[in-house]
Chain A
Amino acid sequence: DVVMTQSPLSLPVTLGQPASISCRSSQSLVHSDGNTYVNWFQQRPGQSPRRLIYEVSNRDSGVPDRFSGSESGTDFTLKISRVEAEDVGVYYCMQGTHWPWTFGQGTKVEI
């Protein structure tokens, strides 16, 4: 199975400052169709996960543009340009290129 390793697991942030979460995969996530199926999710306390980013860098509808996703080989990054109070929660990366789908361990973002 593909292992998705997130870092850090805990991320203290300052309001208005940038933040970055890394996710490293144990193998290439480029699918045979040429796409790379990496999603990022936000899970606020007591809520269901919410998809923020799909296919590495595409922001979902309604997601603030302060969230962005990028990749460099097998390293994937979620960036928040200026953290706001509502961004508190746990963030997960997930790969959907190889069966079985696998998630990172989660990164807890707290002010």
Chain B
Amino acid sequence: QVQLVQSGAEVKKPGASMKVSCKTSGYSFTGYFMHWVRQAPGQGLEWMGWINPNSGGTSYAQKFQGRVTMTRDTSISTAYMELSRLRSDDTAIYYCARGDFDYWGQGTLVTVSS
């Protein structure tokens, strides 16, 4: 069965960077784009960007350009999302979601606090 398993919760200081992983199984990793979506506490869903695991090509929402980097390791069917220069308003649950958003990871809570 298709599974997306994300890395565990993190606490970061303002100005630091974070990197969340999304390990996949049960399907062809290179056959589907991977999206990243975040959700601030008590708020709605916000699309951050996607990566094409086959080519490594990426597309980032304008809001995150310059701060976000999405990568992948096809040998272990894992996608990564790195966000730099963290601010307190980056505190959120970060989700990976396959292709057409049909499968989602369990989410990774990242707390940014001094």
Contacts and interface: CB of A to CB of B under 8 A. Distances in A.
A99 B59 contact: yes
Interface size on A, as a range, is 10 to 19
Contact of A100 (B61, B100, B101, B105): B61
Contacts of B107: 48
A7 to B, nearest CB: 14
B107 to A, nearest CB: 6
Contact of A102 (B47, B100, B102, B106): B47
Interface size on B, as a range, is 10 to 19
A51 B47 contact: no
Interface in B57-77: 59, 61-62
A67 interface: no
Nearest to B104: A48
22 contacts: A39-B100, A39-B101, A41-B45, A48-B95, A48-B104, A48-B106, A49-B95, A49-B104, A51-B100, A51-B101, A51-B102, A54-B102, A60-B102, A96-B101, A100-B47, A100-B62, A101-B35, A102-B47, A104-B44, A105-B44, A106-B44, A106-B45
